[in-house]
Amino acid sequence: MQYRVEGIVIRSTDYGEGNKIITLFTRTHGKIGIVVRGAKKIKSRHGSLAQLFTYGEYLFFRNSGLGTLTHGEIIESHHVLREQLELTAYSSYAVELVDRALQEEDASAYIYEQLKACLTAFAEGKDVAITIQLFELKILEAAGYAPDFTACMSCGNTEGRMALSARAGGILCSRCRYKDPGAMELSDGALKLLRLFRQMDLRRLGNITVRDETKKQLKLVMRALMDTHLALQLKSRSFLDQMERYELTEPVRRQPRRDAGEANEANANSKSNESRDARDDARKQDPWDSDTE
């Protein structure tokens, strides 16, 4: 049978003499394995269709098992994602998440749109850390582990300081926090963003500026949630970790955005002072908090 699908290449592996097998994540048919004959040959018309992150229209033939590509058109090659180390690392993690974290039935049109928006955001130079954290949230949702940041998981309280309990899949208020010794304190800024992200469609992500401290906290939160609920060993994530450890990301990220970054940072700083004041006030009123500080 002949199929025509729109999809994104989320895996591409060599196969036999000069061929490749790709996994396409499609809007309509979930994940599909397709053999691309001659993809590795220099003159191949299909070579670029088989490259990781390529978004295109694919025509293939399949009876059962793997399909065979007959024709394709590239809609967006996403070459910038393969050329810049930092973008390659983040994009690889995003597609590997779809490949490994999602069962066939979780691979919905909505998640397809989120992946597409995620790769577009990387290509457009949006904040990689924020983009990937939003995408991780979408993956958790799709896999059935959507965290709840609206109210305390134990008593339903919505006010005051909260801590993240990965085990509970949500937040605990200061009265209930003792129920999970592994719970981590959330700043007001981090909680606000988590609540916002939980509702947010990646297609609507603008240029958002977040303080480094908040970003670090969000990363720890997402890491804890991903490890607790999905527990995946991903090569792409080990690479990301290594890259960050050696700060290979710095020169790539800083240079092209210096102007906009400086203006935004001034803005973000004045906001952060406000939230710090608010936090101090909250502390004064909360005996539990002052005991532990």
Residues near Zn ion, by CB under 5 A: 152, 154-155, 157, 173, 176
Residue 156 or 256 with smaller CB distance to Zn ion: 156
Q: How far is the CB of 2 from Zn ion (least distance, A)?
A: 57
- Tokens representing 83 are 């050329």
Of 76 and 180, CB closest to Zn ion:
180
What is residue 207's three-state secondary structure? coil
Minimal distance, residue 172 CB to Zn ion, in Å:
6
Would you call 170 helix, strand, or coil by DSSP?
A: strand
How far apart are the C-alpha atoms of 72 and 156, rounded to whole Å? 52
The nearer residue to Zn ion, 100 or 179, going by C-beta atoms, is: 179
As a whole number of angstroms, the distance between CA 213 and CA 102 comes to 31
Shortest Å, Cβ 79 to Zn ion: 49
Distance (Å, whole) CA 285 – CA 266: 30
In angstroms, the CA 140 to CA 98 distance is 11
Residue among 187, 274, 170, 277 at smallest CA distance from 228: 170
Min separation Cβ 191 and Zn ion, Å: 14
Residue 57: closest CA among 39, 73, 34, 78: 73
**CB atoms inside a 10 Å sphere around CB 106:** 16
Question: Among residues 67 and 170, whose Cβ is nearest to Zn ion?
Answer: 170
CB neighbour list of residue 172: distance below 8 Å, 6 or more residues apart: 152, 153, 154, 162, 163, 164, 165, 179, 180, 183
Which C-beta is closer to Zn ion: that of 157 or that of 275?
Answer: 157
Which C-beta is closer to Zn ion: that of 158 or that of 269? 158
Q: How far is the CB of 187 from Zn ion (least distance, A)?
A: 18
Bridge-partner residues for 204, per DSSP?
A: none
Least distance (Å) from Zn ion to the CB of residue 286?
13
- For the chain, give me the number of helices (H) and strands (E)? 10, 9
CB of 284 to Zn ion, least distance (A): 20
Q: Which is closer to Zn ion, CB of 151 or CB of 230?
A: 151
268 and 211 in contact (C-beta within 8 Å)? yes
